[in-house]
């Protein structure tokens, strides 16, 4: 029996050719390919883009470039990948966990406002499973309290919100191109912003703080005399990664339509099945990275996961709440997150799946949860 994987990179001959080309040229690090990928992404988003090594480093660099560090607090939903929390910690700042809306699983703006203190410097909304929720509310809170907004858009590459592409608006927007995201560059990520001063800082920070090194590297030239004024990191993207990313960006229309078609099929098939509730997302506009359902209380999730795996269906849990982890333990409760985290289940979603895979998964799921 073939295993239907929870997620999977979707790469083919074009990506193989692109990587081979870079290998033949023999300039593997950060160079012309990275510059070209950034130019292509800038056309996509309509504003300045910097590519980096991972989505996590994109978040860390964005925070650091805002001057956020030790003694500062950043509000972030607990229901996210550990990367969001560790990126904040990496700057020396404290991640302050907040709750999500119980039905969308997206950051709850009312709870955000409750978590604001004198130390709060930024809000990091997470576009869970591709949806952005009421992002305007987050921006109006940020304006009221003079906070920065660093959007963790790792799940939302390609999502349209009120006629605007996520990343084409907003303060600072960070994407991930890791192997299973909506597009991949192997590993990788990017920062998108209109803040020119901030982007200049990030450009240097990603190359160990070496001033103006990016401009040389774009031309495949090294800098031999330079100044360094800030703590920096080796977080640049390589030509190998960029060459994969460029092919994926070119294919994005196809990749995103596939993800949307699969998610719509799940919605159709699962509607009306008792004991499972799909998240409410409009897949004409949302490009889903994961497909999550909420199980009713009487369903034993781990048993369900075991049964599905025996039927060749791999499932997952996105995510175990960060505020319940030893490192990030909070002194307060987050009602919705704590109510829901034991009942969420992620079903397989990747562009190489077929509609009939979805039909198979849904019929197996139905027969298990019905009993
Ligand atoms: C994938 C992901 C990240 C981090 O991206 P990497 O490229 O894996 O470092 C951050 N936040 C969320 C919500 C993610 O899913």
- Given ligand 1 and candidates 60, 84, 126, 349, which is best to mutate, with the most ligand atoms within 8 Å of its CB? 84
pLDDT at site 323: 98
pTM beyond 0.95: yes
Q: Which residues line ligand 1 at a C-beta cut-off of 6 Å? A: 54-56, 80-81, 83-84, 126, 152, 154-155, 176, 178, 189
Cα–ligand 1 centroid distance for 83 (angstroms) = 6
Axis crossing angle, helix 82-90 with helix 55-65, rounded to the nearest 10: 40
As a whole number, mean pLDDT of residues 163-178 equals 98
How do residues 82-95 score in pLDDT, each as one tens digit?
999 999 999 999 99
pLDDT at site 277: 96
Cα–ligand 1 centroid distance for 127 (angstroms) = 11
How do residues 200-238 score in pLDDT, each as one tens digit?
999 999 999 999 999 999 998 988 999 999 999 999 999
Q: Among the atoms of ligand 1, which is closest to the Cα of residue 57?
A: 9
**CA pair distance 127, 328, nearest whole angstrom:** 21
pLDDT at site 272: 86
pLDDT at site 114: 97
pLDDT at site 222: 87
φ and ψ at 252, to 5 degrees?
A: -60, -40
**CA pair distance 282, 266, nearest whole angstrom:** 12
C-alpha distances in Å from residue 52, one per residue of 49, 187, 206, 232, 239: 10, 9, 7, 13, 11
**CA pair distance 209, 202, nearest whole angstrom:** 9
- Given ligand 1 and candidates 9, 126, 154, 237, which is best to mutate, with the most ligand atoms within 8 Å of its CB? 154
Cα–ligand 1 centroid distance for 188 (angstroms) = 10
Q: How confident is the model at residue 198 (pLDDT cuts 50, 70, 90)?
A: very high
The pLDDT mean for the chain works out to 97
Q: What is the number of helices (H) and of strands (E) in the chain? A: 13, 12
Assess contact for 112 and 123: CB atoms under 8 A: yes
Joined tokens for residue 30: 């950060």
Q: Among the atoms of ligand 1, which is closest to the Cα of residue 289?
A: 15
| pLDDT higher than 90, residue 326 | yes
């Amino acid at each position: 029996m073939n295993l239907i994987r929870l997620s999977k990179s979707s790469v083919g001959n074009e990506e193989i050719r692109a990587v081979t080309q870079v290998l033949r040229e023999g300039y593997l690090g950060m160079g012309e390919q990275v510059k070209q990928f950034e130019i292509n992404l800038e056309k996509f988003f309509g504003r300045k883009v910097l590519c980096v090594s991972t989505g996590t480093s994109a978040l860390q660099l964005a925070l650091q470039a805002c001057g956020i560090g030790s003694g500062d607090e950043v509000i972030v939903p607990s229901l996210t990948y550990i990367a969001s929390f560790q990126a904040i910690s990496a700057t020396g700042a404290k991640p302050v966990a907040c709750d999500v809306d119980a039905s969308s699983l997206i950051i709850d703006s009312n709870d955000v406002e409750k978590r604001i203190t004198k130390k709060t410097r930024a809000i990091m909304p997470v576009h869970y499973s591709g949806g952005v929720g009421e992002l305007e509310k987050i921006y109006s809170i940020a304006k009221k309290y003079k906070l920065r907004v660093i959007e963790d858009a790792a799940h939302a590459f390609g999502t349209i919100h009120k006629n605007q592409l996520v990343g084409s608006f907003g303060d600072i927007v960070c994407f991930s191109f890791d192997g299973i995201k909506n597009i991949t560059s192997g590993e990788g990520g990017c920062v998108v912003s209109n803040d020119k001063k901030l982007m200049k800082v990030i450009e240097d920070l990603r190359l160990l703080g070496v001033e103006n090194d990016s401009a040389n590297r774009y031309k495949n030239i090294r800098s031999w005399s330079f100044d360094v004024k800030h703590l920096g990191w080796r977080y640049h993207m390589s030509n190998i990664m960029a060459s994969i990313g460029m092919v994926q960006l070119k294919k994005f229309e196809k990749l995103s339509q596939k993800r949307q078609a699969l998610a719509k099929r799940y919605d159709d098939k699962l509607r009306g099945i008792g004991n499972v509730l799909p998240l409410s997302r409009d897949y004409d506009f949302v490009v889903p990275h994961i497909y999550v359902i909420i199980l009713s209380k009487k369903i034993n999730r781990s048993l369900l996961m075991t049964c599905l795996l025996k039927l060749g269906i791999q499932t997952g849990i996105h995510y175990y709440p960060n505020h319940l982890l030893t490192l990030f333990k909070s002194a307060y409760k987050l009602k919705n997150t704590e109510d829901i985290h034991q009942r969420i289940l992620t079903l397989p979603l990747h562009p190489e799946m077929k509609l009939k895979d979805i039909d198979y998964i849904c019929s197996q799921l139905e027969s298990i949860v019905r009993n």
